[in-house]
Amino acid sequence: MRRRAAPVVAGLLVAAYVATFRRYAIYDLADEGLLLAQAARAAAGERPYLDFHTGYGPLYFAVQSRLLEAGGLDALRGALAVVHGVTAGLTFALARRLGGTALAIASVALAVAFFLPVAPGSGAPFNVPYPAWYAGLGGVAMALLVARGATGPARLALAGAIAGAVFAMKPNSGALLLAGAAVASVVGDAAAFVTWRSPPAVMLTSPRPTVPVAGLMFRPRSTRLSGILMPTSSDASLNMPGSDDVGAGASSTGT
């Protein structure tokens, strides 16, 4: 019981710590101010990409606009406190699994130290509604899932769903999570190995190859393939409307 309670306690402590700064002022008008203004525009019915420029995904603005409508700035910062708390709890569980309790405590302490207020009384970085905070939560959840062996269909589907949700908020982070989980699930198979050829072509050999598809990953149960040459980027490109605009926006935002 105590072992199960430790991550919960760590998460609650971090969430309470973050919540104590919820009355702080705007951290940076050029950064936090822009995100809040865009959330307000989304809440007013405007659409990302069409009515205002952004590199973030539609799910991010859907969540932010609903929170803003529900309780204004307090709701946004309350949600961030929950996100930071859950992230800390999962970080504790993951670090303890990999290196014991001492590493778990150090990991959570380091995470808290990372976002200590740099301007007390005037702003706190963890109050800024960056989509990266949500992506970080997805990343820790994915790492914990993979650490427990994400090889079954259900866990692969969950990993894909996490990556898909992150992609819908912060496309570059979601794509990296999906690629990382796919590689981890293949490499985790004792019979799998990777042989690199001229990038971006990759030779993958596995008794049950993993197939990542836009937020969903699965493994065919009976297919046995040897020496599957993955297509190059030109062959594997997905013709999604607006994908060029989203990529350009994400690279220019850089947050």
Mark whether 26 and 95 lie in a shared domain.
yes
Residue 131: C-alpha distances to residues 126, 155, 167 (Å): 11, 24, 10
Three-state DSSP class for residue 200: coil
Question: What's residue 30's pLDDT?
Answer: 81
Mark whether 34 and 124 lie in a shared domain.
yes
Domain housing 61: 1-129
Mark whether 89 and 168 lie in a shared domain.
no
Question: What's residue 182's pLDDT?
Answer: 81
Question: What's residue 148's pLDDT?
Answer: 72
Last residue of a domain, one of 84, 110, 129: 129
Question: What's residue 155's pLDDT?
Answer: 79
Q: Which token pair is 207?
A: 């008794």
In a domain, residue 245? The reply is no
Beta bridge partners of 203: 195, 229
In a domain, residue 125? The reply is yes
Mark whether 69 and 143 lie in a shared domain.
no
In a domain, residue 250? The reply is no
- Can you tell me the distance from the alpha carbon of 85 to that of 137, in angstroms, rounded to the nearest whole number? 10
Mark whether 6 and 115 lie in a shared domain.
yes
DSSP string, 12-50: HHHHHHHHTTTT---S-TTTHHHHHHHHHHHHTT--BTT
Residue 142: C-alpha distances to residues 2, 100, 120, 139 (Å): 24, 19, 33, 5
Mark whether 39 and 94 lie in a shared domain.
yes
Give the end-to-end CA distance of the chain in Å, rounded to a whole number.
40
Question: What's residue 79's pLDDT?
Answer: 95
The one-letter amino acid code at 231 reads P
Helix, strand, coil percent values for the chain (each to nearest 5)? 60, 10, 30
Peptide linkage before 129 cis (omega within 30 of 0): no
Question: What's residue 85's pLDDT?
Answer: 95
In a domain, residue 58? The reply is yes
Mark whether 23 and 115 lie in a shared domain.
yes
Instruction: Note whether 153 and 216 are within 8 A (CB).
Output: no
Question: What's residue 151's pLDDT?
Answer: 63
Question: How many structural domains is the chain composed of?
Answer: 2
Mark whether 138 and 108 lie in a shared domain.
no
Mean pLDDT split into 10-residue runs, the chain, 255 residues: 86 92 82 91 93 93 94 93 95 91 92 74 83 94 79 80 94 91 68 36 32 36 34 38 42 45
Mark whether 18 and 120 lie in a shared domain.
yes
Question: What's residue 159's pLDDT?
Answer: 85
- Can you tell me the distance from the alpha carbon of 208 to that of 192, in angstroms, rounded to the nearest whole number? 9
Question: What's residue 165's pLDDT?
Answer: 94
